[in-house]
Structure 1
Amino acid sequence: MDSIEVVVAHQERATLRVGDVFLKVDADQKRTDAEVAAMAMAPLPTPAILWRKPPVLALAALPGTALGLLGEPSPASPQAWAAAGAAARTLHDAPLPPWPGRTVDDWASELDRECTWLIMNEVLPTALITRNRRIAEAALRPWSPAFIHGDFQLTHVFTDGDELTGVLDWSEAAPGDPLFDLAILTLGHEERLTDVVRGYGTEVDLDLIRAWWSLRSLVVIRWLSENGFDPSAPGCEVDVLRSRM
């Protein structure tokens, strides 16, 4: 062991890498409980749990590499992105986890709260917020709940060549809209949506995925800004919102 790498750190949790071991430190042990339970239920490869001593969860490294980073071109092949779409479909076809997920009303309340904050604090032009809110509201409709990952971003999906090797970070897993996972996976990488849908293997409403891009970007800007991330970096959330104009 030569060093300790801080993979990610913010007010809620931190992840450290020590050699081939990842140490997740989470202030909310209920969230860790859900992550452990979700990994046990998920029909996908997940990191092996080495040990747990609250507030720390030790996980083995996954083989392969992540699909990419938000704001940067993905080096992964179209087949690797299709494999991620196929993995999402496998997960969504699995039995639901027994705990509740976020409802339409939950999302509507958060969207209203965050748009109000963005406008009052003049974070973004009002026209940009209003346009994206109108798009986002299409996602706020009844859906048939599926077992979703809840944070299925490209940095959490690992592949080796064209094959999926595993999925990280199951702390947000719950029943929810399956299109949310596809939207989070392709956020900022719209050019990969065709590959993901091809791997998913069934027709999806692309306008609803675009609605989730707007909704997710609007509601996460304050949290990102308060936790040391830059949503206005090239290719990130603010650019996603601007692309809807």
Structure 2
Amino acid sequence: MDEVEVVVAHDERATVRVGEVFLKIDADQAATDREVEAMAAAPVPTPEVLWRRPPVLALAALPGSAIARLGVPSTASSEAWAAAGAAVRRLHDAPPPPWTGRDLDADAARLDEECGWLLAHDVLPADLVTRNREVASAALRPVEPVFMHGDLHVAHVFVEGGEVTGILDWTEAGRGDGLYDLACLTLGHPDHLGDVVAGYGKDVDLDVVRGWWSLRCLTSIRWLFEHGFDASAPGCEVDVLRAQR
């Protein structure tokens, strides 16, 4: 009998694996609706939907393995990272879905709130927060929205050899800034940013990518802490902030 592996679990959703089946349990069925619709429309490999019985969505396991893990050096080849960049470009070139993804005004407000919380609770040194808040400002600019994944964490991109075999977790997909996807994909793995941009095949404003690195880290530390994750682990969010210049 296959064991039940808890992939991730918090108060918003949980994912467990049983053999070759992933079961996603989400309290927000509208989010699951968007995920299923986004996967059907995305011009990149996605998991097969096996069945859906709210609040559970059953997905087939993807071949290959995650391109990397946060805090651990990637063993994937430069070709695999470039293939990931090319897959993201195909997504961004596709017709975007009708619903909005990330909202810049909301991002700016959350940045203010989270920086205030970090300083009030003495979580990070004030100069580190101030410096990264300045870096983050580069991401908060008008942009032509594209079909964005919205949470393109390295653990969500599966590769085998030099090819992308699938992209997971489309809950946050929508219309938004494509450079946010590139930033999520390379967060904690800046040494592969060049490979991703080469595969993307389009001029990329690297200051904006770095801005999204800072913004994502600054605004996620409290959530990670409250949900039992360690943002100060080697190579994770706090180290990313420290590396920013």
TM-score after normalising by structure 1: 0.99
Rounded Cα–Cα distance in structure 1 between residues aligned with 2:219 and 2:240:
13
Rounded Cα–Cα distance in structure 2 between residues aligned with 1:31 and 1:118:
29
Question: Is residue 2:174 matched to residue 1:177?
Answer: no
Residue 102 (structure 1) shift: 2.2
> Where does residue 216 of structure 2 map in the other structure?
216
Amino acid at match of 1:64: G
| SS of the residue 1:238 aligns to | helix
Amino acid at match of 1:97: P
1:71-120 Cα distance to aligned partner (Å, 9 max, x none): 00001000000000000000000001011222221110110111011111
Question: Is residue 2:67 matched to residue 1:80?
Answer: no
2:68–2:154 CA contact under 8 A, matched in 1: yes
1:117-168 Cα distance to aligned partner (Å, 9 max, x none): 1111111111100100011011100011000000111110011100111100
> Where does residue 48 of structure 2 map in the other structure?
48
Amino acid at match of 1:71: G
Question: Is residue 2:105 matched to residue 1:105?
Answer: yes
Runs of 4+ in 1 over 2 A off after TM superposition: none
> Where does residue 124 of structure 1 map in the other structure?
124
Rounded Cα–Cα distance in structure 1 between residues aligned with 2:165 and 2:97:
22
> Where does residue 159 of structure 2 map in the other structure?
159
Residue 169 (structure 1) shift: 0.3
Provide the alpha-carbon RMSD of the alignment.
0.7
The unaligned stretches of length 5 or more in structure 1 are: none
Q: Which stretch shows the higher mean deviation, 41-50 or 96-105?
A: 96-105
| SS of the residue 1:62 aligns to | coil
> How high is the sequence identity, in percent, across the aligned residues?
66
The unaligned stretches of length 5 or more in structure 2 are: none
| SS of the residue 2:111 aligns to | helix
Count of residue correspondences: 245
